[in-house]
Amino acid sequence: MIKTEIIEALVPLKDPALIAMLAHFAEIHHYKKGEHIYDVGDMQKKIYILWSGILRCYFIDELQTDITDCFMTEKGLIANTPEVFQSKGETPSVVGVEVLADAMVCEIPVKRIILMMQQYSEMAGLYIYCLHQSLEFQNEINNKRLYLSGSKCYEWFCKKWPEVDQIASNHQIATFLGIRSESLSRLRHQKRKIRFWGGNFINGRIKDLKKLKENLDTAVQKYQAVDDRVANNFR
């Protein structure tokens, strides 16, 4: 996919000339799992727009602990703080962005965007879009973390980012939810138990014996397959 098509899909602009201009300055980067797009303290000299993959935004607290601020999986999310426009990319970032799953990111220099905003009125809509997206995204997260219990917040997290729950560490998720890693371990264990029992063990009674037998048979087959592979290694 060429840069112009990516810009058209990600940026809320209608003028083909402005889209072509942004595409000219834009770069498409591919990041591997474990890489950092930028670290805490780095200058945010570019606007980073997610095309594919999974990102984790984090900050470092006063105890030098890595705290997860949010996760990003949706195409078009901007991995910058809103202050990047005011600082023109010249102020050290208070957050960092880590790649949790291989990502493709569209990057545009902040100063180029600011110059275009000064020259073209339609570009002001891009700033409003970035600001609105950031506020809406953070409001949803903050409301859930503020008003939901730890278990309910984890349920919401699993529905919003089911793929993140599969790959993120206990520490990364627990610091995001604002609960202890031990508490999250219990919640994740309960979730696996519910998935295994299929909701059939309720109030000490088996609801659906046939379904339970199917789950048990499946589990036995999986363990048997593992035993067979191990046995073959010693033949």
Q: State the CATH number of the domain containing residue 136.
A: 2.60.120.10
Q: Is the pTM of this model over 0.85?
A: no
Q: Dump pLDDT digits (tens) for 78-93.
A: 888 777 877 777 888 9
> Has residue 227 got a pLDDT over 50?
no
Give the pLDDT of residue 168. Answer: 95
Residues 124, 22 share a domain: yes
Residue 213 has a pLDDT of 61
In a shared domain, residues 127 and 206: no
Give 206-226 pLDDT, tens digit per residue.
455 566 566 556 655 654 554
Does residue 114 sit in the same domain as residue 17? yes
**Residue 134 sits in the same domain as residue 26:** yes
Considering the domain architecture, whether residues 19 and 88 belong to the same structural domain is answered as yes
Name the residue range of residue 217's domain: 198-233
Cα separation of the two ends of the chain:
50
Instruction: Taking residues 17-23, report their average pLDDT.
Output: 90
Same domain, 212 and 138: no
Residue 204, pLDDT above cutoff 60: no
Both structure tokens of 146: 């503020």
C-alpha distance from residue 2 to each of 7, 8, 23, 46, 221 (Å) = 9, 10, 9, 19, 47
* Domains contained in the chain, number: 2
162 located within any domain: no
pLDDT 10s digits, 163-202: 999 999 999 999 999 999 999 999 888 877 655 445 544 4
Q: Is 79 contained in some domain?
A: yes
Read off the pLDDT of residues 113-153 as tens digits, 9 standing for 90 and up.
889 988 988 887 777 877 888 888 889 999 999 899 989 99
| Whether the Cβ atoms of residue 116 and residue 18 lie closer than 8 Å to each other | yes
